[in-house]
Amino acid sequence: MFRLFLLEHIQNAYYSLKTTRMRTTLSTVGVAIGVASITAILSLSGGVSQIIAHQVDALGGNIAVVRPGITNQDDINSFANPTVAQTYTTSTLSEEDLNDIQSLDGVDSAAPLMIINGSVKTNDTTADKSTILATTPELVDIAHLPIKDGQFIDSVTNRDTAVIGSGLSVALFGTDQSIGQTFKIRGQTFTVIGVLKNMDDPINFNNVDFDQTAIISLESGKSFNRGLTQIQQIDVKAKDSSKLSTVMGKVNDRLLKNHKGEKDFSILTGSDIAAPSSQFFKAITGVMTTIAAISLVVGGIGIMNIMLVGVAERTREIGLRKSVGASNRNIILQFLIEALIISLLGGLLGYIGGYGLAFAISTFLTFTPAVTWEVALAAFITSLLVGIVFGLYPAIRAARKDPIESLRHYH
Amino acid sequence: MAKKNTPPVIELKGLKKRYGIGDAEHFALDGVDLTIEKGEFVTIMGPSGCGKTTLLNLLGLLDHPDDGDYYLEGTSIKHLSRSHQARIRSDQIGFVFQSFNLINRLNVIENVALPLTYSGMFRTKRLQKASEVLKNFHLSEREYYMPWQLSGGQMQRVAIARALVSSPSIILADEPTGNLDSKASHVIMEELSDIHKRGNTIIMVTHNPDLTTYASRVIHMLDGKIASDSKTPRELKKTVKKVSLGARHEEAKTAKKTTRAASKKRKTTKAKKK
């Protein structure tokens, strides 16, 4: 019985929407725009999350990072204070900590990350978006850095040598074949001994875009900082991924001892490593989705408007339907289904359009939008909700009409 | 035509309908008692504002009385839920309106089939049945016309077909010829007369005294009350007097002959049955 009415109403709605094609199209577009922006935002941010998730997977499950300070995952302030901000604080991690971690049982290797302020330039060119990273030879193994030409810094290489990303190489020398070339950091000359492969991977657990980075030895790094280390992160690789948590327990104990019982560092494993950046993106996504939701509300008001006009126009029809036996519920369903058809159609168009937009935008970005069922579900549910929320009132108004008054309408 | 032991199709007892409040209060219906048996063709006449249409709306369950009882085929409608009333409208009552009230974006056959939607019939079956009914009205070749492509008389025939499609026990017609010229009016009245002969109960509100010749019973209303209630001569010839009407029948008959509007002659005001 219910199914019958549903089919009936869908057919009925189709006919009545067809007769008012223009305004139906316009209100559909209203919803489509809202759903499109939500789809675009969710799929793009999903793309970012996917990158981060893939990286955590690619690490093989045996990587942990130690960061200075305490990362409070639940704190709302951590949204506004992503890891980058730690660059400007004095690190609690020392070289001693690094050495102690390296000497622990079960630790395969550990590498520090020390980011130096300064610009990278040759005699006539300055690379504007470069990063200077001081580290130890272990990093190449831990972070799976692919070498294109030459070699990575190691314990026997000269202090004034550097490995640069291919992007930086192009920016400085106009080519990615730059072995033997020299450039300057704070007046000190470095010779390129290796070039990294283009990774196109600016978002990673080291928070460093290796394509634009000049990697120098920790000793050189210290020389820029009056001989002191300033470690923003220590990457730790365990020998066995299944024992990662026990090993990290040991790291924790050791560091606590070094820091006189003060817990002024965080040890992150698995998806927690990516959490600060993914949380940051989540916050941005949240804000943008809210803005998009406002446009959806506007679309919803469009639906409500058009439905109210439809109800007013069809007052006599409502009176007639009631007099031939339609119950209030029948009338509510009739108009609600019309509203739902508009909103779901808008949702479908918006979903397709949103992905179109996301893929168009992603040609300027380093990642592709995520095609997941969650985005489809979100588009479906939001358009369903818009239809129900904004279609219900006109439908109820239609059902409440007095049949006698309605039949007298426009006599 | 009334069979014994079956309850009358319609039985009203002291039906009242009030409009307005305070000073503006007035009774559109002020204590109407009426019994209509199966198979009667009743015309309700009277000046504007006498409560004819209000009575028709109450009979059709589109409105609710403020006082009094209404028995439809023996059951009181007083305590029925709205959806139940809607159900009754779909199964037992057929409406014919002055302005046809066809839905413009539906074609003829879909308009006729509309009431069956609400009794839960499937589309194919619905259209079949509508087609059958339309055949009786010689509108078969117009099934897929749109309402605006029809003449007024044709539209009203479609509307009558719609009223009949669910085989209702009563047909309520509110000025069915009000928007039609005299030729079309007669065609429509012949149709209604035909339907009546097939055993349907028809209650029709009209201003046109000529149309009472088609009816079996004429009721005049004045100020919310029934002023006179009489069998038409045509009907008197062939039917036995009804107990419900009693001895006042002759009086009413005389009244009918001498004047068309009973309202002008106060002497017949007590003709309503008790």
Confidence of residue B147 (pLDDT cuts 50, 70, 90): very high
Q: Could you tell me if A264 and A290 lie in one domain?
A: no
Sorted by sequence, the CB contacts under 8 Å of residue B244 that are 6+ apart come out as B35, B273
Nearest to B177 by CA among B193, B198, B196, B200: B193
The two three-digit tokens of residue A114, written as one number: 């020390």
Q: Could you tell me if A239 and A287 lie in one domain?
A: no
| Local structure of residue A156 (DSSP, 8 states) | T
Is pLDDT at A179 greater than 50 in this prediction?
A: yes
Whether this model's pTM surpasses 0.80: no
pLDDT value of residue B260 = 47
Q: What is the pLDDT of residues A16-48, one digit of tens each?
A: 888 889 999 999 999 999 999 999 998 988 888
Q: Could you tell me if A100 and A15 lie in one domain?
A: no
The two three-digit tokens of residue A93, written as one number: 């991690």
Q: What is the pLDDT of residues B154-198, one digit of tens each?
A: 999 999 999 999 889 899 999 898 888 888 888 889 888 988 988
Q: Is residue A276 part of a domain?
A: no
Facing residue for A317 by CB, picked from B86, B103, B115:
B103
Q: Could you tell me if A239 and A260 lie in one domain?
A: yes
Structural domains in chain A (count): 2
Facing residue for A324 by CB, picked from B90, B105, B106:
B90
Q: What mean pLDDT comes out for the span A122-148?
A: 85
Q: Could you tell me if A131 and A260 lie in one domain?
A: yes
Q: What is the pLDDT of residues B235-259, one digit of tens each?
A: 555 554 444 444 444 445 444 454 4
pLDDT value of residue A81 = 46
pLDDT value of residue A16 = 85
Confidence of residue A2 (pLDDT cuts 50, 70, 90): low
Domain boundary residue among A219, A239, A269?
Answer: A269
Q: Is residue A249 part of a domain?
A: yes
Q: What mean pLDDT comes out for the span A110-117?
A: 87
Q: Is residue A245 part of a domain?
A: yes
Confidence of residue A78 (pLDDT cuts 50, 70, 90): very low
Is pLDDT at A11 greater than 90 in this prediction?
A: no
Nearest to B86 by CA among A107, A318, A372, A271: A318
Averaged pLDDT score across all residues of chain B: 82
Contact A411 B99 (CB under 8 A): yes
Residue B46, sorted as left (phi over 0), alpha (psi -120 to 50) or beta, turns out to be left
Chain B residue with minimum CA distance to A320: B101
Q: What is the pLDDT of residues A326-342, one digit of tens each?
A: 999 999 999 999 999 99
Confidence of residue A411 (pLDDT cuts 50, 70, 90): very low
Contact A328 B83 (CB under 8 A): yes
Q: Tell me how close the Cα of A315 comes to any Cα of chain B, in angstroms.
A: 11
Contact B57 A404 (CB under 8 A): yes
Is pLDDT at B6 greater than 80 in this prediction?
A: no
Is pLDDT at A246 greater than 70 in this prediction?
A: yes
Helix (H) or strand (E) holding A55: helix A21-58
Is pLDDT at B266 greater than 70 in this prediction?
A: no
Is pLDDT at A404 greater than 80 in this prediction?
A: yes
Chain A residue with minimum CA distance to B122: A4
**Comparing A84-93, A130-139, B239-248, which segment has the lowest mean pLDDT?**
B239-248
Domain boundary residue among A269, A301, A332?
Answer: A269
Q: Could you tell me if A102 and A215 lie in one domain?
A: yes
Residues 57-96 of B with CB under 8 A from A: 57, 60, 62-63, 82-83, 86-87, 89-91, 95
How far lies B52's CA from each of B28, B49, B205, B255, B263, in Å?
A: 9, 7, 7, 20, 14
Q: Between A and B, how many CB-CB pairs are < 8 A?
A: 65
Is pLDDT at B112 greater than 90 in this prediction?
A: yes
Q: Could you tell me if A312 and A382 lie in one domain?
A: yes
pLDDT value of residue A32 = 95
Does A202 or B59 have the greater pLDDT score?
A: B59
Inform me whether the C-beta atom of residue B103 falls under 8 Å from chain A C-beta atoms. Answer: yes
Chain B residue with minimum CA distance to A410: B99
Does A348 or B122 have the greater pLDDT score?
A: A348
Inform me whether the C-beta atom of residue A326 falls under 8 Å from chain B C-beta atoms. Answer: yes
Confidence of residue B74 (pLDDT cuts 50, 70, 90): confident
Inform me whether the C-beta atom of residue A411 falls under 8 Å from chain B C-beta atoms. Answer: yes
Q: Could you tell me if A111 and A259 lie in one domain?
A: yes
Averaged pLDDT score across all residues of chain A: 84
Give the CA dihedral A309, A314, A318, A319, nearest 10 degrees.
120
Q: Could you tell me if A235 and A337 lie in one domain?
A: no
Q: Could you tell me if A309 and A389 lie in one domain?
A: yes
Q: Is residue A212 part of a domain?
A: yes
ipTM score of complex: 0.80
Please tell me the number of Cα atoms within 13 Å of A178 on its side-chain side.
29
pLDDT value of residue B262 = 43
Q: Could you tell me if A333 and A226 lie in one domain?
A: no
Does A201 or A218 have the greater pLDDT score?
A: A218
Q: Is residue A210 part of a domain?
A: yes
Chain A residue with minimum CA distance to B112: A324
Are A325 and B89 within 8 A, CB to CB? yes
Interface test with B, best of A11, A317, A320, A333 (most B CBs within 10 A): A320
Question: Whose structure tokens read 């009774």?
Answer: B27
Contact B123 A8 (CB under 8 A): yes
Q: Is residue A147 part of a domain?
A: yes
Confidence of residue A274 (pLDDT cuts 50, 70, 90): low
pLDDT value of residue B268 = 44
3-state secondary structure of A126: strand
Q: What mean pLDDT comes out for the span A353-382?
A: 90
Is pLDDT at A57 greater than 80 in this prediction?
A: no
Domain boundary residue among A206, A238, A269?
Answer: A269
Facing residue for A326 by CB, picked from B57, B106, B118:
B118
Q: Is residue A208 part of a domain?
A: yes
Residue B239, sorted as left (phi over 0), alpha (psi -120 to 50) or beta, turns out to be beta
pLDDT value of residue B245 = 46
Q: Could you tell me if A303 and A228 lie in one domain?
A: no
Q: Is residue A71 part of a domain?
A: yes
Q: What is the pLDDT of residues B190-214, one digit of tens each?
A: 888 988 988 889 999 988 888 888 8
Q: What is the pLDDT of residues A275-285, one digit of tens each?
A: 666 677 778 88
Range of the domain at A207: 62-269
